[in-house]
């Protein structure tokens, strides 16, 4: 007998064994998809992970339904990586598989259930089992019957689904899972019967008497194909012969023409011819040499180059060398930096060898890039992508570049796998014996520490390209300014002066504010009540543009209140400020300037960022107000002034990384100023100009910041000295979470003693009607990580067996950065 083990895209601990025929075993290889029956009646797409002759001991192996591929779509390297990720990040291979494959590959003929967004539902009207499903649908856009059975842990779930439909909470979709359809173009040619000159002449004669229009079409077809010697598109034929597609159809129906389809690529590059890469200056050349030397002994090198030092051009040289050997390159970036700016820059050098992969791409585009990478196609030698591109099926990877390696968006928080793309990159590269280059102007403490410990090579560039000086950074004490009445709204006199000057010189301005919306807290003048989100433990943020109060955690919104809900007095005050308020203040202060805003609210949709970035680039906007989105590797040529509206709220954020993050954020946003020829200017407004971090930012003292932060990390037992594993428990019942967390923390403390912190309710302890409680496990350097995780898993298994804690979700986050 022959068997296969398959990975299924569901959170199951084990692979499943199915039986196959001898013929099938001859045909199948590892990495192909099969459709298999699962449970009573479900069908899943699984990936063949091994082929063998060992009968499973505990259950009778079922037969597979169907083989879905002729060749593997998952490589053995990917399977190894999945296994590593599942083990390291404490999730299942099935969860990794789900994240790794484009959705369109996981076809399942099942009912699809999604949330009915058309109505506002009162969640208290739902029974417990109904609520669980409704809640899951807020996290996931759709569920299948099988998922629901898994969530509720019972087989017959149709009655619950039926009730939810009756309550109009969900919608059903009886269709086959949206399958990838390549984009086809329709072509026409003459049918066989008319390929000889005689038959063609006869045809034309026959048509000229009865159907003159059709005759013209045939003549035109003839002349286009004679001219181009290529297949003729229906659309071209219709245009050229000035006819309609109905005429073409009539000819097809008569059997005179024949239409056919050719698959075309959806993701097309329509740029110009390739341009030669730039000659490096002496500092870049030196850095390139050092990187290459370092790669002789190191697998990972950190390039620490200040903003605008020309790191990208150094990457370009390395990429040229790798693709000249026929190998592939993965270039990882935070999502937002993947806008036309960098994409066109690279396409100018490498033409259509560049493929782009990120979450705003459609399912179809993702499949296309996936297949190109799988086939090591010339069209995807260089993949520019956001974090999920580490899952692509590389065949011959030579180099991974992780640009802006300090960015926290490389870590996925939800759902599992909760991986860090930078760290996975290092593993992925090592599977291929390839190299990894990490680049940043403000490296993460971890990476810089690794470089200091000689685990990574370290190369630095300390000059801006063109030798432009780093911007001059000035701290503005707004407490003092307020006292002396030198503030207009949130603008100090210094900021207004500098803005006026920059504009007079024809330059552009960036204003950075960490929060979006108009003001984060609305408060009653009389009784002090402030409106809270009904689902979460937070105040609602006022958005002036829509005159709405919104929750930034669950999306809840309501119209702005006219009077206080508690005491009924009109006169609500807003406290704190966000990007929207800054935008409107700029309009008041400088009525003639064009102001733009870049934050989550203005950048939705596929080309959301792109539009704003392009408008700013083309100087259609004078002042751009934005959140941290502005910091991610953008290159604007005409920005002279950067204003940081308030440095304090980031510094005071309750997280051990708050200082490191603030330093990175402020230096990155400052780095947008004066990139071309004149020194830029940065103003940082703060209540506390003597703060260590601000002092370090003002003189670009990375080394000082690093040294000090490292000491703190050592003293308080944080990374890079200790690894962190965070466990979050969630349930809608406060007491249940509380008790469950106590039990879990106690059991863990028996194992790990004082290295277990908590359980503790986080500052925002309720989100989307779920209470959260956290436990933090610190793993010291000497303690084997693998064994630690095994032990946690065991405790978790005992936990899951306790009836009273049923329904409590336990989320494990390894390296909770
Ligand atoms: P970084 O990635 O270090 O912030 P970039 O690579 O974006 O810096 O370079 C900053 C600017 O300098 C870009 O506009 C880039 O085109 C220009 N530049 C960098 N190196 C060169 C070079 N060798 N020749 C010409 N222009 C360069
Ligand atoms: Zn909310």
What domain range includes position 435? 282-466
Q: Are residues 223 and 158 in the same domain?
A: no
Helix (H, G, I), strand (E, B) or coil at 508: strand
Question: Chain-centre distance of CA 550, in angstroms?
Answer: 23
Q: What is the CATH number of the domain that holds 86?
A: 3.40.1440.60
pLDDT greater than 70 at residue 450:
yes
227 lies in a domain?
Answer: yes
Q: Are residues 445 and 306 in the same domain?
A: yes
91 labelled binding-site residue: no
48 lies in a domain?
Answer: yes
Q: Are residues 626 and 702 in the same domain?
A: yes
- Looking at residue 183, what is its pLDDT? 53
Q: Is the CB of 308 under 6 A from ligand 1?
A: yes
* Ligand 1, atom 15: closest residue by C-alpha: 310
CA–centroid distance, 773 to ligand 2, in Å, is: 17
| Axis-axis angle for helices 608-617, 340-350 (nearest 10) | 80
286 lies in a domain?
Answer: yes
* Ligand 1, atom 9: closest residue by C-alpha: 310
For residues 441 and 536, which has the higher predicted lDDT (pLDDT)? 441
Q: Are residues 126 and 153 in the same domain?
A: yes
- Looking at residue 172, what is its pLDDT? 67
557 lies in a domain?
Answer: no
Percentage of residues in the chain having pLDDT higher than 70: 94
Which ligand 1 atom lies nearest to the CA of residue 633? 4
- Looking at residue 188, what is its pLDDT? 86
* Ligand 1, atom 17: closest residue by C-alpha: 310
- Picking from 89, 107, 125, the residue at the C-terminal end of a domain is 107
Measured from the alpha carbon of residue 123, the closest ligand is: 2
* Ligand 1, atom 23: closest residue by C-alpha: 280
For residues 500 and 559, which has the higher predicted lDDT (pLDDT)? 500
Average pLDDT over every residue of 14-23: 93
567 labelled binding-site residue: yes
Helix (H) or strand (E) holding 213: helix 212-228
801 lies in a domain?
Answer: yes
Q: Are residues 152 and 99 in the same domain?
A: no
Give the pairing type, strands 354-357 and 435-440: unpaired
Average pLDDT over every residue of 498-518: 91
Q: Is the CB of 440 under 6 A from ligand 1?
A: no
Q: Are residues 617 and 498 in the same domain?
A: yes
- Picking from 466, 481, 508, the residue at the C-terminal end of a domain is 466
Give the pairing type, strands 397-403 and 435-440: parallel
Q: Is the CB of 403 under 6 A from ligand 1?
A: no
Average pLDDT over every residue of 700-707: 96
Residue 605 structure tokens = 């949709």
Q: What is the pLDDT of residues 263-287, one digit of tens each?
A: 554 444 555 556 788 889 999 999 9
Q: How far apart are CA 424 and CA 83, in angstroms?
A: 12
CA–centroid distance, 284 to ligand 1, in Å, is: 10
* Ligand 1, atom 26: closest residue by C-alpha: 278
Q: Which long-range contacts (CB under 8 A, 24 or more apart) does 603-606 make?
A: 603/629, 606/360
Does residue 311 contact residue 668 with C-beta atoms inside 8 Å? no
- Looking at residue 606, what is its pLDDT? 65
pLDDT greater than 70 at residue 572:
yes
Measured from the alpha carbon of residue 769, the closest ligand is: 2
549 lies in a domain?
Answer: no
DSSP string, 524-555: ETTT----B-SSSSSBPEEETTTTEEE-TTT-
pLDDT greater than 70 at residue 203:
yes
- Looking at residue 624, what is its pLDDT? 95
Does residue 401 contact residue 369 with C-beta atoms inside 8 Å? no
* Ligand 1, atom 19: closest residue by C-alpha: 310
* Ligand 1, atom 24: closest residue by C-alpha: 278
Average pLDDT over every residue of 28-54: 88
Q: Is the CB of 404 under 6 A from ligand 1?
A: no
List the one residue out of 472, 512, 506, 507 whose CA is nearest residue 490: 512
CA–centroid distance, 624 to ligand 1, in Å, is: 22
- Looking at residue 181, what is its pLDDT? 44
Helix H segments across 557-607? 579-589
For residues 412 and 39, which has the higher predicted lDDT (pLDDT)? 412
168 lies in a domain?
Answer: yes
Model confidence at 179, pLDDT cuts 50, 70, 90, reads very low
> Of 348-357, 650-659, 690-699, where does the model show the most confidence?
690-699
Helix (H, G, I), strand (E, B) or coil at 721: coil
Q: Is the CB of 442 under 6 A from ligand 1?
A: no
Q: Are residues 230 and 330 in the same domain?
A: no
* Ligand 1, atom 1: closest residue by C-alpha: 308
- Looking at residue 266, what is its pLDDT? 44
Q: What is the CATH number of the domain that holds 408?
A: 3.40.50.300
- Looking at residue 227, what is its pLDDT? 77
Q: What is the CATH number of the domain that holds 772?
A: 3.30.70.600
Q: Is the CB of 102 under 6 A from ligand 1?
A: no
Which ligand 1 atom lies nearest to the CA of residue 279? 23
* Ligand 1, atom 20: closest residue by C-alpha: 310
CA–centroid distance, 249 to ligand 2, in Å, is: 56
Q: Is the CB of 333 under 6 A from ligand 1?
A: no
Does residue 492 contact residue 499 with C-beta atoms inside 8 Å? no
Cis peptide before 702 (omega within 30 of 0): no
Q: Is the CB of 530 under 6 A from ligand 1?
A: no
- Looking at residue 750, what is its pLDDT? 96
Measured from the alpha carbon of residue 555, the closest ligand is: 2
3-state secondary structure 38-106: ECCCEEEEEEEEEEECCCCCCCCCEECCEECCCCCCCCHHHHHHHHHHHHHCCCCHHHHHHHHCCHHHC
pLDDT greater than 70 at residue 38:
yes
Q: Is the CB of 617 under 6 A from ligand 1?
A: no
Q: Is the CB of 283 under 6 A from ligand 1?
A: no
Q: Is the dihedral of CA 516, 517, 523, 525 positive or negative?
A: positive
Average pLDDT over every residue of 241-268: 77
- Pocket of ligand 1, candidates 288, 291, 312: which has the most ligand atoms within 8 Å of its Cβ, to mutate? 312
Mean pLDDT taken over the chain: 88
Q: What is the pLDDT of residues 748-778, one digit of tens each?
A: 999 999 999 989 998 888 988 999 999 999 9
Model confidence at 180, pLDDT cuts 50, 70, 90, reads very low
Q: Are residues 82 and 132 in the same domain?
A: no
> Of 182-191, 340-349, 448-457, where does the model show the most confidence?
448-457
Q: How far apart are CA 478 and CA 24, in angstroms?
A: 74
Q: How far apart are CA 518 and CA 599, in angstroms?
A: 12
> How many domains, in total, are found in the chain?
6
Question: Chain-centre distance of CA 456, in angstroms?
Answer: 26
- Pocket of ligand 1, candidates 308, 315, 342, 461: which has the most ligand atoms within 8 Å of its Cβ, to mutate? 308
Q: What is the CA radius of gyration of the chain?
A: 30
pLDDT greater than 60 at residue 174:
no
Q: Are residues 801 and 702 in the same domain?
A: no
Model confidence at 108, pLDDT cuts 50, 70, 90, reads low
Q: Are residues 6 and 131 in the same domain?
A: no
CA–centroid distance, 730 to ligand 2, in Å, is: 15
CA–centroid distance, 120 to ligand 2, in Å, is: 14
Q: How far apart are CA 315 and CA 329, in angstroms?
A: 11
Other CB atoms within 10 Å distance of the CB of residue 478:
25
Q: How far apart are CA 601 and CA 369, in angstroms?
A: 29
Measured from the alpha carbon of residue 638, the closest ligand is: 1
DSSP string, 430-487: HHTT-EEEEEESS--HHHHHHHHTTSSEEEEE-S-GGGPPPPEEEEEEHHHHHHTT-E
Q: Is the CB of 310 under 6 A from ligand 1?
A: yes
Q: How many C-alpha atoms does 808 have within 13 Å on its Cβ side?
A: 31
Average pLDDT over every residue of 702-717: 95
Question: Chain-centre distance of CA 718, in angstroms?
Answer: 26
pTM: 0.80
* Ligand 1, atom 21: closest residue by C-alpha: 310
Q: How far apart are CA 285 and CA 330, in angstroms?
A: 22
Q: How far apart are CA 64 and CA 358, in angstroms?
A: 34
What values do phi and psi take at 315, rounded to 5? Answer: -55, -40
- Picking from 439, 466, 493, the residue at the C-terminal end of a domain is 466
Q: Is the CB of 692 under 6 A from ligand 1?
A: no
- Looking at residue 178, what is its pLDDT? 34
- Looking at residue 263, what is its pLDDT? 55
501 lies in a domain?
Answer: yes
- Looking at residue 196, what is its pLDDT? 81
Q: Are residues 311 and 441 in the same domain?
A: yes
CA–centroid distance, 539 to ligand 2, in Å, is: 9
For residues 302 and 351, which has the higher predicted lDDT (pLDDT)? 302
Residues forming a β-bridge with 809: 730
Helix (H, G, I), strand (E, B) or coil at 521: strand
Average pLDDT over every residue of 365-381: 91
CA–centroid distance, 508 to ligand 1, in Å, is: 19
- Looking at residue 382, what is its pLDDT? 96
CA–centroid distance, 559 to ligand 2, in Å, is: 15
Q: Are residues 732 and 781 in the same domain?
A: yes
CA–centroid distance, 466 to ligand 1, in Å, is: 9
pLDDT greater than 70 at residue 362:
no
Q: Is the CB of 95 under 6 A from ligand 1?
A: no
Q: What is the pLDDT of residues 603-619, one digit of tens each?
A: 776 677 778 888 888 88
Q: Is the CB of 408 under 6 A from ligand 1?
A: no
Average pLDDT over every residue of 513-527: 83
CA–centroid distance, 451 to ligand 1, in Å, is: 24
Model confidence at 109, pLDDT cuts 50, 70, 90, reads very low
């Amino acid at each position: 007998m022959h068997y296969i083990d398959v990975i299924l895209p569901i959170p199951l601990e084990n692979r499943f064994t199915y039986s196959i025929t001898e013929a099938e075993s001859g045909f199948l290889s590892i990495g192909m998809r099969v459709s298999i029956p699962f449970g009573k009646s479900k069908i899943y797409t699984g990936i063949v992970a091994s082929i063998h002759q060992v009968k499973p001991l505990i259950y009778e192996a079922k037969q597979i339904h169907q083989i879905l591929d002729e060749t593997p779509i998952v490589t053995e390297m990917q399977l190894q990586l999945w296994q590593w990720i599942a083990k390291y990040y404490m999730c299942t291979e099935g969860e990794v598989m789900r994240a790794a494959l484009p959705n369109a590959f996981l076809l399942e003929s099942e009912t699809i259930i999604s949330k009915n967004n058309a109505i506002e539902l009162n969640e208290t009207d739902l029974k417990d089992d109904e609520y669980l499903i409704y809640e899951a649908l807020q996290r996931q856009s759709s569920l299948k019957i099988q998922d629901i059975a898994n969530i509720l842990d019972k087989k017959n779930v149709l009655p619950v689904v039926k009730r939810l439909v009756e309550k109009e909470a969900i919608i059903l979709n009886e269709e086959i899972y949206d399958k990838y359809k390549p984009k086809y173009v329709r072509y026409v040619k003459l049918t066989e019967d008319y390929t000889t000159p005689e038959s063609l002449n006869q045809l034309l004669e026959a048509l000229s008497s009865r159907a003159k229009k059709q005759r013209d079409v045939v003549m035109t077809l003839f002349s286009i194909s004679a001219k181009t010697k290529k297949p003729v598109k229906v659309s071209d034929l219709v245009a050229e012969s000035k006819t309609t597609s109905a005429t073409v159809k009539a000819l097809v129906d008569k059997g005179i023409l024949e239409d056919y389809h050719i698959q075309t690529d959806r993701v097309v590059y329509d740029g110009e011819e390739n341009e030669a890469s730039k000659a490096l200056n002496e500092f870049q050349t030196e850095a390139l040499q050092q990187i290459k030397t370092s790669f002789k002994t190191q697998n990972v090198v950190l390039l620490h180059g200040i903003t605008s030092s020309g790191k990208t051009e150094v990457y370009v040289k390395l990429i040229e060398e790798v693709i000249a050997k026929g190998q592939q390159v993965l270039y990882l970036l935070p999502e937002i930096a993947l806008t036309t700016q960098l994409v066109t820059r690279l396409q100018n050098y490498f033409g259509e060898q560049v493929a782009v992969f990120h979450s705003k791409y459609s399912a179809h585009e993702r499949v296309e890039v996936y297949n190109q990478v799988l086939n090591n196609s010339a069209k995807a030698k260089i993949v520019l992508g956001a974090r999920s591109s580490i899952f692509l099926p590389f065949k011959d990877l030579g180099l991974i570049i992780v640009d802006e390696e300090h960015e926290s968006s490389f870590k996925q928080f939800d759902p599992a796998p909760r991986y860090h793309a930078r760290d996975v990159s290092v593993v992925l590269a090592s599977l291929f014996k390839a190299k990894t280059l990490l680049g940043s102007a403000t490296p993460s403490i971890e990476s810089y520490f690794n470089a200091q410990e000689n685990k990574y090579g370290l190369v630095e560039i300390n000059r801006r390209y063109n030798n432009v000086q780093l911007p001059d950074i000035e701290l503005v004490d707004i407490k003092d300014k307020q006292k002396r009445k030198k503030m207009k709204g949130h603008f100090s006199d210094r900021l207004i002066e500098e803005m006026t000057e920059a504009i007079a010189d024809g330059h552009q301005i960036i204003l950075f504010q960490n929060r979006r919306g108009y003001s984060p807290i609305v408060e009653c003048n009389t009784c002090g009540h402030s409106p809270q989100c009904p689902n979460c433990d937070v105040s609602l943020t006022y958005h002036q543009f829509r005159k709405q109060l919104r929750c930034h955690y669950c999306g809840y919104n309501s119209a702005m209140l006219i009077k206080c809900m508690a005491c009924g007095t009109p006169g609500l005050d807003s406290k704190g400020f966000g990007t929207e308020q800054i935008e409107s203040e700029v309009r008041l202060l400088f009525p003639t300037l064009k102001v733009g805003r870049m934050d989550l609210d203005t950048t939705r949709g596929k080309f959301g960022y792109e539009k704003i970035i392009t408008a700013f680039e083309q100087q259609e906007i004078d002042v751009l107000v934005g959140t941290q989105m502005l910091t991610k590797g953008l290159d604007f040529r005409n920005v002279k002034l950067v204003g940081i509206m308030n440095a304090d709220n980031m510094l005071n954020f309750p997280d051990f990384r708050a200082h490191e993050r603030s330093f990175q954020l402020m230096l990155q946003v400052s780095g947008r100023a004066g990139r071309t020829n004149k020194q830029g200017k940065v103003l940082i407004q703060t209540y506390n100009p003597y703060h260590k971090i601000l002092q370090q930012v003002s003189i670009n003292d990375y080394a000082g910041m690093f040294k000090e932060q490292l000491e703190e990390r050592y003293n308080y037992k944080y990374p890079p000295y200790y690894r962190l594993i965070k466990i979050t428990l969630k349930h809608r019942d406060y007491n249940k979470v509380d008790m469950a967390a106590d039990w879990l923390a106690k059991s863990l403390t028996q194992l790990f003693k004082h290295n277990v912190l908590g359980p503790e309710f986080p500052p925002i302890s309720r989100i989307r009607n779920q209470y959260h409680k956290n436990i933090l496990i610190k793993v010291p350097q000497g303690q084997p990580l693998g064994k630690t995780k095994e032990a946690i898993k065991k405790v978790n298994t005992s936990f899951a067996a306790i009836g009273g804690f049923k329904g409590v979700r336990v989320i494990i986050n390894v390296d909770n950065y």
